[in-house]
């Protein structure tokens, strides 16, 4: 796998590291309630917080989707489902652009592994982006925790 934009990949890893000791649910709720400033920065921040929340909860996957009416849903799926505060539309677009740039997906999306370096270790995620018309989804599968 060739990472197209290593700086953006590094930024995601650094953001995960930066928020490692954060209450992810509280921070995601703050983001959803706050003003829409710096959508690219907030896109990476939302991804980092949601990924770290998924790791903490030992989730199977993080699933985000936007329907054709523009509504966005986000949830962690595992032994239990945890509904996450939905990102703003501009943050969603930034997240899709971030994933597309890191993994070099085309307009329809794709599916590739993503190695995420976290402090003393690494985590292999499987990222799937699907886009069809006005609908899109982003799924990040975590490794098996068993």
For the chain, the domains span: 6-141
Between the two ends of the chain, the Cα-to-Cα distance in Å is 26
pLDDT of residue 107: 77
- C-alpha distances in Å from residue 52, one per residue of 2, 47, 91, 95, 134: 24, 8, 18, 15, 28
Q: What pLDDT was estimated at residue 6?
A: 54
Q: What pLDDT score does 2 carry?
A: 44
Residues of the chain with pLDDT under 70: 1-6, 146
* CATH top class, domain 6-141: alpha beta
How high is the pLDDT of residue 3?
44
DSSP 120: T
């Amino acid at each position: 796998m060739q990472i197209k934009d290593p700086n953006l990949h590094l930024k995601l890893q650094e953001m995960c590291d930066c928020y490692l000791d954060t209450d992810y649910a509280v921070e995601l709720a703050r983001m959803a309630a706050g003003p829409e400033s710096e959508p690219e920065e907030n896109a990476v921040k939302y991804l980092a917080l949601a990924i770290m929340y998924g790791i903490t909860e030992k989730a199977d996957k993080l699933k985000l989707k936007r329907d054709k009416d523009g509504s966005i849903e986000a949830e962690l799926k595992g032994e239990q489902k945890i509904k996450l505060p939905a990102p703003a539309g501009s943050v969603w677009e930034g997240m899709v652009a971030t994933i597309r740039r890191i993994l070099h997906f085309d307009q329809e999306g794709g599916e590739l592994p993503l190695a995420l370096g976290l402090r003393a270790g690494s985590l292999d995620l499987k990222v799937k982006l699907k886009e069809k018309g006005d609908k899109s989804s982003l799924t990040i599968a975590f490794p098996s925790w068993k």
